[in-house]
Structure 1
Amino acid sequence: MIVAPRAVCDAASLSFGEGLEVLISRKLDTLSPGEILEVSSDDPSIEHDLRAWSRFMAHEWRGMRVENSRFICSIQRGAAQRIIAKRLPLEAVTNIPAIANPQTGFSPRGATVEDGSPGFPFDVLDANLAWNPEAATLYERAVSAQWNAATDILWNALPAIGLELEQSVCQLMTFLAENEFAALYVPAKWIPRIHPHFVETIMFLSTQICDEARHIEVFVKRALANGGGLQFSSASTERSLKTLLDREDFLEASFLLSVLGEGTFLDLLRFIEAHAPDAVTAEIARRSRIDEARHVQFSIAHMKHAIESDPNFKQKLAAAARERAASLAEVRSVNPLVEESLIVLAAGGLQPDRLPAGVRAVRELYDTMHENRIKRLQQIGFSSEDSEHLSQSHTPNFM
């Protein structure tokens, strides 16, 4: 019985060495097992090559005939699959898995993964912990907001300023840079542990790392630009920052770093911007603050999503904050050189008649930091009482 072909393929004069296998394989992929592909060719050697290839690939050779000086070969598709998997539907790319499968490895969400692929050591697999609905929008915003520390800051416009002011600016730049190292290393630690199917989170954290690298660059450049140089880093600051890197829970690490730490830094950067002795330093603080605000917004959205999915996460985050506060109980204040520098900056120098105003400004800064931490904590679902307590116990290091 002659079976009509399900599909036809004109191979012209292609040989196997020139791409015939690719053409025929793609055509056979569109057929179901048992269906016939008819291949027409100008090359008389196709019978020998195609017969052998069909047997090797578990298809059935159905013969060849000659029509109008062309060689017409018939192949019946076999049951073997080139990829041992059923292709996922197009809409699978939008399906956020409740619990991601480590066996899907580095495949993009929505791709079909062949059976037998190895498992990967991802351990952030729960969508409630690893994903939030605002991540994609914030990623796009972050990409469009990138700036260049070398060319977007008018370094040639930086004026010489008084020695005490310059020393204070350089101390603050040193402090900012070391904190930004923590803000870079913490998300960098988590990217290889978050399952790739939560790609929106991974992509946003990648922009955060890029932002922090730029901040480190611009803060160090400002410390060096007028010859003042990098200043002092205190043991208490380093101890405080290490507690962020030591966290082994992604949600806790993000909460402590961004909601509490980077959130507090928004007020610090706004203070430096407002009291900067020159426009260049003010612009550095302004641009960095805008980036940090995006990081804080991401983390707030992340915490809200997690807590809405499971209110028990709120107790988990509060416990992490209390645990960190207990481990830093001996740290009573920010690096004294940092506080002095903030006072000098706000006072505009060391003039005795102006220092009281600088002291008042820094006290007001601390009050503002506390008030805004409370607002952010309430925003993600904490009560007024809990927010007050958690804010009060936050590290005096700011981050």
Structure 2
Amino acid sequence: MAFYAEKDFTEDETVLEAANQVMQGNLSLHWYNAKTERMKGRPSNMDRGLTYQDLDVGSYGYTSIPENVRNSQSMVSRGSEKVGKLPDMGYVVNRKSDVWSDNVGELYEESKARRWVPAVDVPWKTLRTEPLPPDLESAYAQLYTLLQECQIVSLDFPSRWVSLINQDFLEQKSFMCAQMLDASRLLEAFRKRALYGGTGLGRASISAEQGLKEWLWADRFPQGSVSINLSLAGLLLVIYRQVAAFAKTKVDRSIMGYAMQDAGRQVAYGLGQLRYHLQHRPLEVAAMEEYVDDTEHSMVGILGSPELLEPMIIICGGGLEKDQVDKGRAATARFIKLVVSEYMERLASAGLAGHSRRSRIPALIDRIQSPA
């Protein structure tokens, strides 16, 4: 629904006259006396520069944000003087414990410091001078096709919520924008890698996309964050490590190295956000347990997808010969178990300590045949 200002300012003589008076040199300077806190922002480390952490002071700081933001529904920057009737932005996420993580400021600064450019930072020409065998190249193309699906969801989640979160959480919203940049950059890198090899894209995975959509459309931000920033990002982080360990080209090792650092930030935020949420809202533990119980089947949909497992086996084994497939199966079985064990460890660390005992996932994963 469109918003219309209370007045058409082209017809507001008060606004036009005030602007005219200023341009004639009759300055009111009323803003000189803004009722705001006086401070000088200074970097604590000159090499690092001025960060959000350095500005965590008084009314300008994020430490002082209350649990419930009740009197700030406009786009005014935190710490500014609020005067008159400011527009209501209709924010629906106004509780700090719904979105906050104590590491969000550091993660935002890191995302800027460790930015990279797929077009020039990946050594693309080495793939042209040292091409992979067709079967192996096709496996990479299929894997990178599925990874694009995952990054689209990682991009859509923060973009869905950022305008609904109160402006007082500006460091949080800044980090969400950085997450969108990270996801779009990885989407770019994965797409370019799949097409650079010459085989084209692979096939979409029905089970993976169904699971990803369920995670994406969580009703509330804390639940969606667990799914996207913890479950999905944690799974992807293990994929990136696995591929980096077995990759035969500098291009794939380079891409996976960058992907690990970007996914690592996402996981760090997801873990911190869930921990902060449960620490400040202990009565929400049962509801979060129920949500995770109901939706973690999506992990099986992704992990059990042939569009993921088969290229992983070929990549880890190095080809389609029987001994290569056997080697790849063994490595992929370890990969699956690692995804699940790290997922359970993170949930426990964040405050869902008993989840591994009630989860359906370990038993389902055991049904996936591992090599003898």
TM-score per shorter chain, which class? 0.7 to 0.9
Does 2:352 align with 1:350? no
Amino acid at match of 1:157: T
- Tell me which amino acid in the other structure corresponds to 2:334: E
Residue number among 89, 97, 100 corresponding to 2:37 in the alignment: 89
Of 114, 118, 122, which aligns to 1:145?
A: 114
Report what 2:209 is aligned to.
238
Deviations 1:162-218 (A, max 9, x none): 111000000000011111100110111010111010011101111111000000000
Task: Tell me which residue corresponds to 1:129.
Answer: 98
Whether the 8 Å CA contact 2:72–2:168 is kept in 1: the answer is: no
Cα distance, 1:183–1:394 mapped onto 2, change above 3 Å: farther
Contact 1:103 1:120 in 2 (8 A): no
Is 1:256 matched up with 2:227?
yes
After superposition, give the CA deviation of every residue in 1:62-103 in whole Å (9 maximum; x if it has no partner).
Answer: xxxxxxxxxxxxxxxxxxxxxxxx724343212313222375
Q: Quickly say closer, same or farther: Cα 1:394–1:121, change in 2 above 3 A.
A: farther
Structure 2 CA distance for partners of 1:310 and 1:18, relative to 1, 3 Å:
closer
Deviates more, 1:184-193 or 1:345-354: 345-354
C-alpha contact 2:300 2:361 (8 A) present in aligned 1: no
Distance 2:92 2:135 in 1: 49
Q: Quickly say closer, same or farther: Cα 1:211–1:127, change in 2 above 3 A.
A: same
* Secondary structure of 1:20's aligned partner: coil
Matches within 5 A, 1:166-205: 166-205=137-176
Aligned equivalent of 1:101: 70
Aligned to 1:21: 26
Deviations 1:96-143 (A, max 9, x none): 132223754111000112231121111000011122221111110111
Q: Is the 8 A contact 2:143 2:308 kept in 1?
A: yes
**Residue 269 of structure 1: how far off its partner (Å):** 0.8
Letter in 2 for 1:299: G
For residues 320-353 of structure 1, the C-alpha deviation after alignment (integer angstroms, 9 at most, x for no partner) is 1122246x59949522132111111111101112
What is the Cα-based RMSD across aligned positions, in Å?
Answer: 2.5
In structure 2, distance between residues paired with 1:156 and 1:353: 30
Amino acid at match of 2:113: S
Task: Give 1:280's match in structure 2, choosing from 248, 251, 254.
Answer: 251
Measured in 2, the distance between the counterparts of 1:244 and 1:201 equals 21
2:17 aligned partner: none
Q: Is the 8 Å Cα contact of residues 138 and 298 (structure 1) preserved in structure 2?
A: yes
Give yes or no for contact 2:155–2:184 (8 Å, CA) kept in 1. yes
Q: Of 171, 189, 195, which residue of structure 2 is paired with 1:218?
A: 189
For normalisation by structure 2, the TM-score amounts to 0.81
Query: What amino acid is aligned across from residue 140 of structure 1 in structure 2?
Result: E
**Residue 239 of structure 1, CA deviation:** 0.7
Please tell me the residue identity of whatever aligns with 1:21.
N
Q: Which structure has more RCO (C-alpha within 8 Å, separation ≥ 6)?
A: 2
- Please give the alpha-carbon distance, in whole angstroms, between the structure 2 residues aligned to 1:187 and 1:337: 26
1:339-378 alignment runs, 5 A limit:
339-378=309-348
Task: Name the counterpart of 2:369.
Answer: none
Measured in 2, the distance between the counterparts of 1:102 and 1:172 equals 48
Assess, with a 3 A threshold, how the Cα gap between structure 1 residues 329 and 145 changes in structure 2: closer, same or farther. Answer: closer
CA distance in 1, matches of 2:358, 2:108: 32
Counterpart of 1:301? Answer: 272
> Cα 1:212–1:388, aligned 2, differ >3 Å: closer, same or farther?
farther
Q: 1:168 to 1:329 in 2, by over 3 A?
A: closer
Work out the CA distance in 2 between the residues paired with 1:222 and 1:306: 38
Q: Is 1:111 matched up with 2:59?
A: no
TM-score calculated relative to the size of structure 1: 0.76
- The 5 A counterparts of 1:42-57 are none
Once the 2 structures are TM-superposed, how far is the Cα of residue 393 of structure 1 from its aligned partner? 6.8
Cα distance change, pair 319–112 in 1 and its aligned pair in 2 (3 A): same
Is the CA contact 1:168–1:344 (under 8 Å) kept in the aligned structure 2?
A: yes
| Structure 2, gaps ≥5 residues long | 1-19, 39-57, 366-372
Distance 1:346 1:215 in 2: 21
